[in-house]
Structures are given as structure tokens and as C-alpha cells.
Amino acid sequence: MSAKDTMEEFMTVDCPACSSINTKVTQKIMDIPHFPNMWLFNLICHDCKYKYTDFINLNIKEPTRFTYHAENSDDYSTKIIRASNCTIRFPKISAMIEPGPNAVSFISNIEGVLRDIQEKARFLLNDAVTEEEKQRILDFDSMIDEYIFKGLPIDVIVEDPFGNSTIVPFNPNKLETEKLSSEESERLKTSFRKF
């Protein structure tokens, strides 16, 4: 992945956290295979150090659901491009990442997203009160390890009401792309954004 084009500081944007205009805005058109028009927007506030990153897919503008049917370890390298309003679900293991006030945009792969979910589950271990709760988290933890080590079959679903997120498949035959109905789209959570 390389930056094809970079433009800096051509916009003036107030910092969403402290309203300072001492901000730096970077924009890049990312050159990603199959998705040549991914626009990366990056804001840094020099006063309060607030950072904001988002992706805008210039190709797709409709509410979209991508489903990738991973069947082996190679499939786990399938890239997931998550913009701020993206919901990622793994129905088989009842795991989900929803947009929140501090939703993070990222480019990762199936393995990376599962590791992220695993890490968040480990944090919950500190708050677990009963042995039963602790055991449930530990079981979830080792289940994720097993999925990754063995490349077990798992579906990942990426939904974005603004169509900015996407899946770059290891095997395009295992990817389904559907338009979301307006009801489905409205049910999805969105992140808080000021600009």
C-alpha cells in the first residue's frame, strides 16, 4: 500500500476537542488493490494533541454490507478497512465492534481484528467478579487463539451506513456484497462527528 497523492494543510478545520485552529490536516488518496480511490483524512491538533483519522471510499457511497466467508489461514489475511461508522460482526463467536464516540478507523485484517477483540476481552478480566465470569472470558480468549492458529472457518460481516468501509478479500469468490435496506441502515450505530 502506498500513498499516491498527498495534500497537506489545504483546509482549515477547528479542533473538535478544544476548538483551536492550530491544526494540521493531511489527506491522501490510498492506492489499495481493487480500491484505488480510498481517501484518508487525518487531523492533528497541535494544542491538545487530539487526533482524528477517517477513510472515505470514493467508489461506494451506498449503505453496504460485506460478508467474507473465511475458511482457512490464508483467508485470515483478508483486509478490513474500517471507517468510523463501521460495524464489524463475527456472528459465529458472538463478537461485534460497533462505532462509539471515539470510534477508531483502521486498516487491519481478520486476524488483527480478532486480536483486537481478544485484547478488549482481556481488559474485562479485571472487572470480572465471579469465577464463572472469569472462566467465560478465559474460554473466549482461548477460543480466539484456536480460530487464529487453526484458521477455522468464520464469517466476518462489515456494515457501513455511509459505504466508507470495505473488505479487500484474499479470495474474491468468498466475498459477498449487498446493499443495505434503509431500515437495516438506520439500525446501525454511527459515531459522533463534528465535521
**Nearer to Zn ion among residue 47 and residue 139 (C-beta):** 47
Nearest to 64 by CA among 95, 85, 33: 85
Minimum CB distance to Zn ion, residue 18 (Å): 3
**Number of other residues whose CB lies within 10 A of the CB of residue 97:** 19
Tell me the residue type at 107. Answer: I
**Nearer to Zn ion among residue 23 and residue 166 (C-beta):** 23
Instruction: Give me the torsion for CA of 59, 70, 87, 117, rounded to 10°.
Output: -130
What's the grid cell of residue 98?
460497533
45 touches Zn ion by CB under 5 A: yes
18 touches Zn ion by CB under 5 A: yes
Site residue total, Zn ion (CB under 5 A) = 8
- CA-to-CA separations, 171 to 13, 46, 76, 107, 159, in angstroms, rounded: 40, 42, 10, 18, 19
93 touches Zn ion by CB under 5 A: no
Of the candidate spans 13-21, 26-34, 63-71, 89-97, the one that interacts with Zn ion by CB under 5 A turns out to be 13-21
Among 50, 73, 138, 184, binds Zn ion (CB under 5 A): 50
Residues that bind Zn ion (CB under 5 A): 15, 17-18, 20, 45, 47-48, 50
